[in-house]
């Protein structure tokens, strides 16, 4: 039994079609809309939504199917109950139910039922055969815009010529600076080579007595400094005895530098992204009505949510939570006040 065919026919004639023990499809009329960014006009249409709470049998769907198929009411009801039971089992198993030309129904990670409408067909019989039309905007200030463009081009040319002159002057200055620095560097290098040459040619002799006298003199000159440094330090370094010199090992210096580098490194953790859940409170075809609800949500101290759909309708809601369980509990509280509210998950 292709129930979606009969549901679609009823949605074209009525505003609400109830499927017993499953939910109801609601068709809301939307006036013709204009999208100035895309330069398109959309004809009047019907926006289909799904309400899981409306499950009581009003008999309209079963009677319509029985009349179209010329079957008994009870037989149609039995077949429809089997199909609805199969749909509920598919939702429990996280499977998507696709109804042709109506939309698809699926269960999200927060165990809430979501419906995505199919907007390929226009269900409004008064707009049958009408397609979106695109218009070309009229530019009444073409001459003024051309004059402004020519003036801008002239200014750009003048600025470019001035920039070329400044750039040539800057290049000449840089060349002079490079020339002066190269001469100074060559002079410094020449002096350094001369000093090195005379140093290598100078005689150098040091016997054992001269070496001992050099060590003793350097030790006597630096005793006060080394003693003050050791007495003031709070580390565990050993004290200097008479004529004792402590030379740090190369491995100790390398290990100390590695420890200092490791202690100065700071690990950075990537920031975690959060998810958001919004409770949708209404869908409007006029901007002023949507803005009223947004202002009301803001006055109540909540964060509003506003989105324009492709067909021109405006979704308005409020922020629930970043946690799925908290958002679900807030939705249950909202459903007691507004039965047609539903939740939108944004990653």
| 186-220 confidence digits (pLDDT tens) | 888 888 877 776 655 544 444 444 444 444 554 44
DSSP character at residue 320: E
For residue 143, the SS3 value is helix
Residue 164: helix, strand or coil by DSSP?
A: helix
Q: What is the pLDDT of residue 296?
A: 92
Residues 6+ positions from 84 with CB-CB distance below 8 Å: 19, 20, 21, 22
How far apart, in whole angstroms, are the C-alpha atoms of residue 340 and residue 23?
A: 11
Stretch (H or E) spanning 28: strand 23-30
- Looking at residue 42, what DSSP letter applies? E
Residues 136-161, mean pLDDT to the nearest whole number = 67
State the distance between the two ends of the chain, measured CA to CA, in whole angstroms: 37
CA distance 196 to 279: 83
Whether residue 263 has pLDDT greater than 70:
no
Under the banding of pLDDT at 50, 70 and 90, the label for residue 176 is confident
The domain defined by 276-346 carries CATH number 3.30.70.1070? yes
Residue 19, beta-bridge partner list? 23
Domain boundaries, the chain: 3-134, 144-174, 276-346
Identify the DSSP state of 138.
Answer: P
Stretch among 145-149, 228-232, 295-299 having the lowest mean pLDDT: 228-232
pLDDT tens for each residue of 23-64: 999 888 877 777 677 777 777 878 888 998 888 888 898 899
The tokens for 56 are 């009581």
| pLDDT given for residue 132 in this prediction | 72
- Tokens found for residue 141: 């200030």
């Amino acid at each position: 039994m292709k129930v979606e065919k009969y549901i679609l026919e009823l949605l074209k004639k009525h505003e609400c079609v109830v499927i017993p023990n499953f939910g109801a499809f609601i068709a809301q009329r939307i006036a013709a809309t204009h999208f100035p960014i895309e330069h398109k006009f959309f004809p009047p249409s019907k926006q289909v939504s799904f309400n899981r709470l409306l499950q009581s049998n009003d008999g309209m769907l079963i009677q319509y199917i029985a009349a179209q198929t010329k079957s008994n009411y009870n037989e149609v009801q039995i077949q429809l109950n089997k199909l609805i039971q199969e749909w509920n089992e598919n939702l429990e198993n996280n499977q998507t139910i696709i109804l042709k030309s109506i939309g698809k129904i699926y269960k999200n990670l927060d165990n809430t039922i979501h419906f995505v409408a199919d907007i390929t067909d226009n269900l409004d019989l008064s707009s049958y055969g009408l397609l979106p039309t695109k218009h070309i905007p009229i530019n009444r200030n073409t001459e003024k815009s051309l004059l402004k463009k020519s003036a801008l081009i002239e200014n750009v040319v003048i600025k470019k010529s001035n920039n070329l002159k400044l750039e040539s002057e800057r290049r000449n200055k840089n060349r002079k600076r490079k020339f002066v620095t190269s001469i100074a560097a060559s002079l410094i290098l020449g002096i350094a080579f001369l000093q090195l040459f005379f140093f290598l040619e100078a005689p150098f002799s040091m016997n054992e007595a001269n070496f001992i006298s050099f060590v003793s003199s350097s030790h006597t000159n630096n005793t006060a400094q080394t003693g003050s440094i050791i007495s003031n330090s709070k580390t565990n370094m050993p004290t200097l005895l008479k004529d004792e010199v402590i030379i740090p090992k190369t491995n100790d210096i390398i290990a100390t530098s590695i420890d200092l580098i490791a202690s100065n490194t700071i690990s950075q953790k990537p920031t975690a992204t959060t998810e958001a859940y919004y409770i949708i409170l209404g869908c409007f075809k006029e901007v002023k009505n949507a803005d009223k609800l947004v202002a009301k949500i803001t006055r109540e101290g909540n964060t509003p949510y506003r989105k324009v759909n492709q067909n021109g309708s405006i979704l308005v809601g409020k922020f629930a939570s970043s946690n799925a369980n908290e958002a679900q509990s807030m939705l249950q509280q909202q459903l007691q006040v507004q039965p047609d509210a539903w939740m939108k998950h944004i990653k």
